[in-house]
Chains A and B, each alone.
Chain A
């Protein structure tokens, strides 16, 4: 039984929920093994790289919200249209959507890779992909409410996982972090750049912004969410630096999982066999959020039926995800996404910001002349 009263009104949520939503979209599979990519660049100062990209992310978030404020209740698809016109705007939007599809594929494939290399070497790729997509479709059918609630649960799951990282600290050698800043700025920056795949995802603020009820509080909670993510990455990075020795880190593909490997309880050993499956709770809302953005895009640009598009999308991602055969290809995919996400999440917002203000200035001048 369902009620059909006031269906016209849009679903809006409190800015407070952004706290959980943004960090949940950011934290996904990247966290499994981001350490070594950064370590390869900036060695034991890798944590400085994490701080660096964190600060930049805060700045970019400020820029994004400032842009959105200027456009009032638009989302990114509308902004494209108003800034670049119908055709170019649509092309840019489509490029963005393709990026999101690839991103979804990368998330799914990386998660599968983690499961296969740690728990079930012979778990069929297509099956796990199907499991994730079934969950994604079922959740997405419930709308953004489900995503919000699920991301709230995940927030506590992530906090709980963070407690587990206390155990590796018993093996920590704090001297490994010294001397602080023993590398060059250039290395720090290229290390920060490697965080791309791991930290990306906060650009969804472009799409959820106009669903937020109290827009004046968005800045506070969005920055808070990013702060949480940054702190999480920083803590894991520091723990990894003091736990793994200098030549051990570059050999470690799944740094965070390796950290969990030493945990032992009297009733349970080898926590990673439980932690990796449970991470599905964190991965699924991220996928659902991307799917939600894609559905909004397609219905806005082409007016497609959302349900059918969702099924189609799941099909496309399914086929794309079983297309990847080995670890090298997945790494290449993640590298590509990493590079591209730097463009999408860091450079492009700056461009939009400049264009938005330039356009506003232009209009103002025109107005005052006339």
Chain B
């Protein structure tokens, strides 16, 4: 009997390099249980594993073990090496000299299902994903109780062995997108990832673009909406964010709340967000261009106040704007790094004090302070955090070009960005298309919710139609097509 314990002990200590990680306890007749004590539920161990095993007075076979242990998930394991990955997840290894089974009585520390912290809405469900893959999958399954909801499981990385789930509606999804995701995830077998955002960067079409090509969300309703639209949802173990793809540029400016609001308010909010996009990208560059080159376009009513506010500023407008934009960014970053309460105070104090003092010291003009604040506000109105960071980032080249070549610079960069966006793809689907090359049905439905379109058909529907009519081609490979 103690032979078994001794062999197990030597085996485990050679794997774990110590004797304390795994607890090995002999039970009854030539049977031992091995487990990592932090990861299991001791009560269940006593009740459902140890108590029944006490009654075994012979050397049991694995079939007999399975029958005695009163736990749902039991698997036969031939060797310890096979059992270890599961033991690391809270399974108990029940060993006899000839065979062994693993029993799942895991109790992994986990967060309760909470409400969304970062993507808050006023209306709509208050359900957010958490770090457990099982919980997340369960949340999606319960929100779409349909057999068409298909799940594929993958393992990534040779150290962490992270589980990744791919979910989609079999009757809605565009098969080529699913193939691309599958293919890309399988190529990642050796990458260890810590979260879904890392995975997103690894599998997106063009990683050198600063525009996010897939949506990361913590909201269950957004993910299930997207599933119903025919998109693919990727869940990663240990990450409270799921990846939704393929996504279009305009998807980043939509929230599920638009649908809950009804079409009138929803449409208004979407238009407002588009306006915010334009404001956040163009406002400060326009200021720089107008003050550096195009004084003619300033109307008479603004002229005098602009001159007066600028007359004491020692820097050229380009420099002035860059300083202020960076200050703004600094305030945001510092506020984000500090504990919530301190961060809020600092934001207010920093904003007011620095702003006031900068104007009084003749460092910047007060009109610019207002414009920079407006532009920042515009970028924060974007629901997607990654996209709003991108918008803030592309403002800098825009400002620089505006300072170099005035309106020509602004338009140059706009055309460049537009072409860039058109050239991007998301999981092989076009990323930015104002219109579908393939069909002419209303293109406004996703930007402007029309009454009859407030259902669930928007981008996913179009993607399928698009892909079906094309079976895409050399285009997306970056070659000039023929």
Contacts and interface: CB of A to CB of B under 8 A. Distances in A.
A and B touch in the complex (CB under 8 A): yes
Interface of A: 1-14, 16-17, 20, 115, 119-120, 123, 127-128, 131, 134-135, 138-146, 148-150, 152-153, 213, 264-270, 273-274, 277-278, 280-281, 284, 292, 295-296, 299, 306-307, 310
B407 A274 contact: yes
B180 A3 contact: yes
Nearest to B425: A2
Nearest to B207: A1
A6 B479 CA distance: 13
Contacts of A12: 470
B341 interface: no
Contacts of B428: 3
B434 A152 contact: yes
Contacts of B416: 134-135, 138
A14 B415 contact: no
B462 to A, nearest CB: 13
Contacts of B482: 10-11, 296, 299
B477 A120 contact: no
27 contacts: A1-B184, A2-B205, A2-B478, A3-B428, A4-B477, A5-B176, A7-B479, A8-B474, A9-B473, A11-B475, A119-B294, A120-B405, A135-B415, A141-B478, A141-B480, A142-B422, A142-B478, A146-B423, A149-B432, A150-B419, A264-B299, A268-B297, A269-B296, A273-B297, A277-B407, A280-B408, A280-B411
B406 A120 contact: yes
B313 to A, nearest CB: 22
Contacts of A146: 419, 422-423
Given A265-B299, A267-B299, A273-B297, A3 B476 contact: yes
A281 B411 contact: yes
Q: Which 3 residue pairs spanning A and B have beta carbons closest together?
A: A143-B481, A277-B407, A142-B423
Interface in B436-482: 437-440, 469-482
B205 A273 contact: no
Interface residues of B, number: 56
A293 B446 CA distance: 34
Interface in B408-428: 408, 410-412, 414-416, 418-420, 422-423, 428
B302 interface: yes
A143 B479 contact: yes
Counting chain A CB atoms within 10 Å of each CB, the highest count among B296, B410, B419, B422 belongs to: B419
B304 interface: no
A3 B477 contact: yes
Nearest to A275: B407
A143 B477 CA distance: 10
A145 B419 contact: no
A152 B481 CA distance: 19
A264 B423 CA distance: 37
B232 to A, nearest CB: 15
B407 A153 contact: no
Given A6-B471, A120-B293, A264-B299, A149 B480 contact: no
Interface of B: 176, 180, 184, 203-207, 293-294, 296-302, 405-408, 410-412, 414-416, 418-420, 422-423, 428, 430, 432-435, 437-440, 469-482
B299 A9 contact: no
Contact of A2 (B410, B437, B477): B477
Contacts of A140: 480
B375 to A, nearest CB: 16
B282 to A, nearest CB: 11
Contact of B480 (A6, A265, A310): A310
Given A152-B435, A268-B297, A128 B408 contact: yes
B408 A150 contact: no
Contacts of B432: 149
Nearest to A132: B412
B411 A277 contact: yes
B407 A144 contact: no
A310 B438 CA distance: 27
Nearest to B183: A3
A140 B423 CA distance: 10
Contacts of A5: 176
Contacts of B207: 1
Contacts of B435: 17, 20, 149, 152
A149 B297 contact: no
Contacts of A14: 437-440
Contacts of B476: 2-3
Given A3-B476, A131-B408, A143-B475, A13 B296 contact: no
A267 B298 CA distance: 7
Given A14-B440, A268-B299, 4 more contacts: A9-B471, A11-B474, A274-B297, A292-B480
Contacts of B293: 119-120
Contact of A295 (B294, B439, B480): B480
